[in-house]
Amino acid sequence: MTRQGVQRMTDDVECTAVLQEANTLVWANAIHDMSIALVHAKVSSYGPPPGPIPDLCFVEAAVALTSHPESVKLKDWQGFCVLVERLLDSDDFVKYVSNGAPKPVEDVSEDHLAITTFLCFLQHLQYSQTLGKCFVLDYQGTSNISFSVMGY
């Protein structure tokens, strides 16, 4: 942000940043799905878990970009590349897990404690399953459990 307000990056930098964010979402979703599949496999083998397994999903997202029209000179072309995410109802927004560590946020409500505990368990499972390479960080979302995430 500058004194003039929000400034756009150059086309190539902007598109690279958007594609990196989309790539992070794809990997986070895959790692999350891997850990959920492992939990369900263990439930099939060993019986019911001690607590509920929440039905969780990621925010739907897509990359939107425009192509260069032939009628516009390349030097005048501004381009457009953005990550489009499903809008979450901000009234129901919940932060489940701390940014800096795989532990519940300090002020989690009793209503969200089971989900928060399960998400922290998933983080530990992800870290273990990837041999310490990664886990999904910053689980947050709405009460219908859609999240936006950051990767580690």
Residue at 152: amino acid letter = Y
State residue 151's pLDDT score: 45
Q: Is 25 helix (H, G, I), strand (E, B) or coil?
A: helix
What pLDDT, in 10s, does the model give residues 91-124? 777 888 877 777 788 888 888 888 888 999 999 9
Is 50 exceeded by the pLDDT of residue 149? no
Is 60 exceeded by the pLDDT of residue 76? yes
State residue 38's pLDDT score: 95
Q: Helix 113-129 vs helix 11-46: angle between axes, to the nearest 10 degrees?
A: 100
| Site of tokens 């999903």 | 57
Beta-carbon contacts of 123 under 8 Å, excluding residues fewer than 6 positions away, are 97, 102, 135, 136, 137, 139
The closest alpha carbon to 8, from 79, 88, 83, 84, belongs to 79
| Site of tokens 């799905």 | 33
State residue 46's pLDDT score: 94
Q: 94 - beta bridge partners? A: 141
The closest alpha carbon to 123, from 33, 35, 24, 38, belongs to 35
